[in-house]
Structure 1
Amino acid sequence: MKINPMWKQIITEQFLKTTIRKPSQFNLPPNSVRFALEQMCRLFPMQKSVQVRALRLAGLHAEELKPQNAATQLIFHIHGGAFFLGSLNTHRAFLSQVAARTQMQVIHVDYPLAPEHPFPHALEAVFDVYQSLLAQGIHAKDIILSGDSCGANLALALALKIRDEQLPQVSGLMLLSPFLDLTLTSESLRYNSKHDALLSIETLETGIDYYVPPELDRADPQISPLFDDLHELPPVLVQIGSKEILLDDATRFKEKAEQAGVEVHYKLYTGMWHNFQMFSPWFEEAKRALADLAEFAHRQDQS
């Protein structure tokens, strides 16, 4: 039986609000929330045409998702989860969809999570992974850096660190539902607080408390890369849903990056919640987001 798209969205949003957003408003132990999220992510279907191979990169557990042997471009994706959630398990199915849609190899890693590993452990870990990829002979021009939510924070901070360390820069940067301002000054945190089906302010506040040591300034550009000088970044794709509490993180980044002379491809998806791209098997706007992501990735491959 085919469900009306409007009813499918209403049912899905109510399910997410009940199973993910509402429990996140309580002070549950990190391991309990991690387990619940991994169980929920088992609902996402794997793309069977994609091969998954376990590997180690810079001492971290990692996976390679490969749609075909001839894939030349590599997407290095950093998963989200408010700095204390997320894993290879939560994002494997989504990234299999990305690999199939782009026909590119995707690498993702289990970077160290807070509160066990607060800032700067995660950023240092993904920087080590990038250096490891270069040491293996992979050219920077063949790498697209990607991240969702706090993973987009780490991806942007990594691109800025690559620039500052004067290493070869990646060919493109993809920021999906980015969480870039840990001072929580974006207005959309308030006006979209009842509309975002997946992400709550409480989850962000918990993640920040876990991730940022109390003696550090949350406006530090390595912690909140929105506040960094954004010059000399590669072309950037920004994807955001109209119902996201992080909507203004994305729009503020777009405005500031464009002022710094960065090529920005900003995409707003009507009626979509946080990390809606993971729901591409069921929703047209999420399918369109993957098509837009693939178009951007292929453009960098040809440049």
Structure 2
Amino acid sequence: MGRAGGNIAAAPIELAIERIRAVYRSWNRDTSVAQMRSDWDTAFGGCTAPVTCERVSAGGVDGEWISPSDAREDKAILYFHGGGFRIGSVSSHRDLIAQIALATSCRVLAINYRLAPEHRFPAALDDAIAAYGWMLDCGLKSANVAFAGDSAGGNLVLAAMLALRERRLPLPVSAVLMSPWTDLAATGASYVSRAEADPIHQRPMILALARNYLGAQGDPYDPLASPLYADLGGLPPLLIQVGDRETVLDDSVMFTDMARAAGIDVTLEVWDGMIHVFQMFGAELPEAHRAIASIAGFLNRHLHIKAERGPS
């Protein structure tokens, strides 16, 4: 595939960007939410990874176990997909989730939490907590469960842990956040400094998604809606990955600063030249593979999967 003149191959990141833009270009003001969701699942669905997929009801929440052949029964990851709380599903994220499952040799429970505007905050959060409770009821120990999520799903990872802490319930052993949306008020300087570099997400769009999720009277500074404004003490170790081209970059940078000030063990990886949730684009981006390898290393250290298996 070439650029003008046909002699210069398109950079891998441009191929990923074009996949996203192709979907956005097909939408207009008359496009229904149902059509947007269907289009997103069609564009990003599919999975060729060697995993098994089993539909389950996780505490009343539609979910799916995505498992590599060598996964153990006593370890698991709970995954929350992104999509601005408006679109996205297990289907649209199945390949990314499968790649994480393969890299960690760990099964993953991914859930289809309720989406807005039909189900506004805190419906998605309630579903996240219900699914985790179901995992524990099935016999999994909190020390053998990690959370992971991207974008709005990264928000849910944090909000769920904060809600669990408030209820004095056991937290997962660690959590991975990819381009997490931590500030629904969109106050970060990167909304300006990265406006030209980010090919997809601009502040008005982010604020519209926040209103869609919270409703007209919702508070974007509610700590369970915007974890950036929470007391973060007591959270488990975190790995945060974010692209340098994202307007949402400061959602990760500011959150990392707040978490470290609260004494939390946080690893922040800022990936040069990368876009929002670039990990989804393994077919185009070698950086996606390296990022997932880093995620696997982090999760394996905390879930002790490789160490307990011994040398291969």
TM-score over 0.5 for the pair? yes
Match for residue 296 of structure 2? 294
Q: Look up the match of 1:261.
A: 263
Aligned residues between the structures: 300
Amino acid of the residue matched to residue 36 of structure 1? D
Q: Secondary structure at the match of 2:182?
A: coil
Preserved CA contact (<8 Å) 1:14 1:197: no
94, 97, 109: which one pairs with 1:95? 97
1:120 alignment counterpart? 122
Deviation at 1:196, TM superposition (A): 2.3
- What is aligned with 2:4? none
Paired AA for residue 54 in structure 1: R
Partner residue in 1 for 2:41: 38
Runs (5+) with no aligned partner, structure 2? 2-6, 308-312
Counterpart residue number, 2:13: 9
What per-residue deviation string (whole Å, max 9, x for no partner) do you get for residues 223-267 of structure 1? 111100001100000000001111000000110000000000111
1:62 maps to 2:63: yes
1:108-156 superposed Cα distances (whole Å, 9 cap, x missing partner): 0111100000011111111111111111111000100111000110110
TM-score by length of 2: 0.90
Aligned 1:260-279 pairs, distance under 5 A: 260-279=262-281
Native 8 Å contact 1:25 1:203 kept in 2:
no
Distance 1:256 1:269 in 2: 20
2:32 to 17, 24, 29: 29
Q: Give the aligned partner of residue 244 of structure 1.
A: 246
AA matched with 1:64 = W
| Aligned 8 A contact 1:24 1:200 in 2 | no
Equivalent residue number for residue 210 of structure 1: 212
- SS, match of residue 289 in structure 2: helix
Q: Distance in 1 between matches of 2:293 and 2:287?
A: 10
Tell whether the 8 Å contact from 1:270 to 1:285 is kept in structure 2 after alignment.
no
CA distance in 2 between counterparts of 1:32 and 1:246 reads: 26
Question: 2:53 maps to which residue?
Answer: 52
For structure 1, which segment, 52-61 or 3-12, has the greater mean C-alpha deviation from structure 2 after superposition? 3-12
Q: Hey, what's the Cα distance between the residues in 2 that align with 1:38 and 1:23?
A: 14
Cα shift at 1:100: 0.8
Which of 220, 225, 229 is matched with 1:223 structurally?
A: 225
Q: Distance in 2 between matches of 1:11 and 1:175?
A: 24
Query: How is 1:119-138 mapped onto 2 (pairs within 5 angstroms)?
Result: 119-138=121-140
Give yes or no for the alignment of 1:19 onto 2:22: yes
CA distance in 1, matches of 2:293, 2:8: 23
Q: How far apart are 1:88 and its partner, in Å?
A: 1.6
- Write the mapping of 1:65-80 to structure 2, written as runs, cut at 5 A: 65-71=66-72, 72-80=74-82
Residues 116 and 212 of structure 1: is their aligned pair in 2 closer, same or farther, counting only changes over 3 Å? same
Q: Is the 8 A contact 2:125 2:156 kept in 1?
A: yes
Checking the alignment, whether the CA contact within 8 Å between 1:21 and 1:197 is kept in structure 2 is: no
What letter matches 1:37 in structure 2? Answer: W
What are structure 1's unaligned runs of at least 5 residues?
none
Q: Which moved more, 1:27-36 or 1:174-183?
A: 27-36
Deviation of 1:282 after TM superposition, in Å, equals 2.6
Alignment-derived partner of residue 199 in structure 1: 201
State the 1:204 CA deviation: 2.0
Instruction: Indicate which of 100, 105, 108 corresponds to 1:106.
Output: 108
CA contact (8 A) 2:61 2:130 kept: no
Give me the identity figure in percent.
Answer: 31
Superimposed CA distance per residue, residues 245-299 of structure 1 (whole angstroms, 9 cap, x where no aligned partner): 1100000011000000000011111111001001123312111110100000011
How well do the aligned residues superpose, as a CA RMSD in angstroms?
A: 2.2
Shift of 1:8: 2.8
Question: Amino acid of the residue matched to residue 177 of structure 2?
Answer: L
